[in-house]
Amino acid sequence: MKTHTSLRAKRQRGNVLVESAFVSLVFLCLLLGAFDFGQFLFVHQALVERARYAMRWALANGGNTTSDQIKNMVLYYSATDPGNTTGYFGLTSSMVSSTVVYNSTDPVNGEWNNRITINIHDYPYTILSPYIAGTYSGPNINLTIPLGQKYE
C-alpha cells in the first residue's frame, strides 16, 4: 500500500521536471537572442572596418582613385573586380556606393570641398531567435572624409 507521502514525492518530482523544462526553454531563447545580437554586431563592425580600410587605401594612393576602385575595395578587398566572386558578407555592388570629389570649391565661402564618401546600405543579416527569425537589412553605414586640394 502506498503512503500519502510517497505519492506527494512523485508528484513533486513531476512538477520539478515541468518547471525545469519551462526555465530551460526561456534560458535557451535568451541565449539564442544574445547570439543573434552578437552576430549582428560582428557583421556591422566588420563592414565598418572594411569601409574604413577602403577609405585609408584611397588616401594612401594619393587620392588618385576612382569611385569604382573604392567600391571594389569594400566588396572584394581588391581594387579590381575579380569576376563572379561574391562580396564581403554577401554584399552586392548595388549595396555599396562611393563618391570621390576633387577640385571643387564651396560656392558660399570659396573653400575646397574635396571629399571621399562611402555608403553601405541594405546589407543582409539573419536572426535565428523565435518569433522574429528571418533575414533583415542592417542600418546604413556612411563614411565621409574631407580632403585637401589635389595637386597634379
**Segment 129-142, tens digit of pLDDT:** 888 889 999 999 99
Residue 62 lies in a domain: yes
23 found inside a domain: no
Q: Is the pLDDT of residue 3 over 70?
A: no
Question: Is residue 31 in some structural domain?
Answer: no
Number of domains comprising the chain: 1
Residue 138 lies in a domain: yes
Question: Is 10 inside a domain boundary?
Answer: no
**What average pLDDT does the chain have?**
84
Residue 27 lies in a domain: no
The pLDDT of residue 115 = 84
Residue 51 resides in a domain = yes
Question: 82: domain range?
Answer: 36-147
pTM over the 0.85 mark: no
Q: What is the pLDDT of residue 61?
A: 83
Which one-letter DSSP state was computed for residue 62? T
Residue 28 lies in a domain: no
pLDDT at residue 149 is higher than 60: no
Q: Are 117 and 146 in contact (CB under 8 A)?
A: no
